[in-house]
Amino acid sequence: MTRRLKSDLGWSTADRIVVRGHDLVELLGKTSLGDFAFLELKGRVPTREESIVFNAITVTLVEHGMTPSAIAARLTYLGAPESLQGAVAAGLLGMGDRFGGSAEDAAHMLQDALSQATPDADLRAHASRIAADHKARKQPVAGLGHPVHKPVDPRTAKLFGIAAENGLSGRYVDLMRLVGEEASRVFGRDLPVNATGAIGAIASELEIPWRVCRGLAVMARAIGLVAHLQEEMEDPLAAEIWSRIEDESSSHLRPGSD
């Protein structure tokens, strides 16, 4: 009647801790944090090439400066200094559809397109159909264009280069590039692949399911948020931000404000 509960991630006894089938203690000192993340997600230690590529895409997602997430984390820490975990959580909660979701959307698009594709599929035809569909629905294509990094996102070429050097540039990367070309044509403006498009494509090469891609951004950004909170402890900004915004946003209501 009841389903048996079962998880393969880890277990421990008095003298042993096992993660994904590996003795944790034997991995310590040999396996880096990024490689351990790969092990957690894929169930095996990465090859040297996979390690370089996986670490590159996650490193890209760690730090984006003073983002809404970083500001929210700092404001939260001001009110709840007892709970660093709460401030990190508050920051991560902003990694949603608009921010964390873009690599996921790109991977979703690519994985859907190729899920049924034969080895000799015409990738340009796929790209063309994707671009036309988005144009018809008046929707932007995930993974293309960037408000700041124009005309090209410097991370894209580097990430695609790293993938190629390590034998991990295949059909997903090809399709992502072609989608950029076709969308630029169909929308009539330059729409190069941005960093999240590159990450979505490369994560697909690593056979990471698209639903998990947002998680890559979340795990990486947790690191960046801890660094922001360390800086906030040393040189706090939150009280000043609060004071300015509170004053300005209510000034029209205060007596004598008109």
- 87 touching a copy of itself, by CB under 8 A: yes
Interacting positions 18-37 with a copy of itself (CB under 8 A) = 18-20, 24-25, 27-29, 31-37
Q: Is 198 in the site for a copy of itself (CB under 8 A)?
A: no
Of residues 147 through 166, those in contact with a copy of itself by CB under 8 A are 148-150, 152, 154-155, 158-159, 161-162, 165
Query: Given candidates 80, 125, 132, 164, which one binds a copy of itself under the rule CB under 8 A?
Result: 80
Q: How far is the CB of 140 from a copy of itself (least distance, A)?
A: 15
Does position 83 interact with a copy of itself (CB under 8 A)? The reply is yes
Among positions 72, 176, 203, 206, the unique one binding a copy of itself when judged by CB under 8 A: 72
Q: Which 40-69 residues touch a copy of itself, going by CB under 8 A?
A: 40-41, 51-52, 55-56, 58-60, 62-69
Residues 165-184 touching a copy of itself, rule: CB under 8 A, are 165
Q: Is 112 in the site for a copy of itself (CB under 8 A)?
A: no
CA distance 199 to 111: 13
- Smaller CB distance to a copy of itself: residue 71 or 121? 71
User: Which of 121, 170 has the CB closer to a copy of itself?
Assistant: 170
How many whole angstroms separate alpha carbon 194 and alpha carbon 153?
5
Half-sphere exposure of 64 (CA within 13 A, CB side): 23
129-134 contacts at long range (C-beta below 8 A, 24 or more positions apart):
130/179, 130/182, 130/183, 131/179, 131/182, 131/183, 131/185, 131/186, 131/187, 132/182, 132/186, 134/183, 134/186
Q: Judge contact between 213 and 107, C-beta under 8 A.
A: yes
Choice between 56 and 131, CB closer to a copy of itself: 56
Pick 14 or 136: Cβ nearer a copy of itself: 14
Minimum CB separation from a copy of itself for residue 167, in Å?
14
Q: Could you tell me if 244 and 122 are in contact, meaning their C-beta atoms sit under 8 angstroms apart?
A: no
Least spacing, CB of residue 15 vs a copy of itself, in Å? 6
Stretch that binds a copy of itself, among 81-89, 133-141, 172-180, 182-190 (CB under 8 A): 81-89
Report how many residues bind a copy of itself under the rule CB under 8 A. Answer: 123
Q: How many residues does the chain have?
A: 258
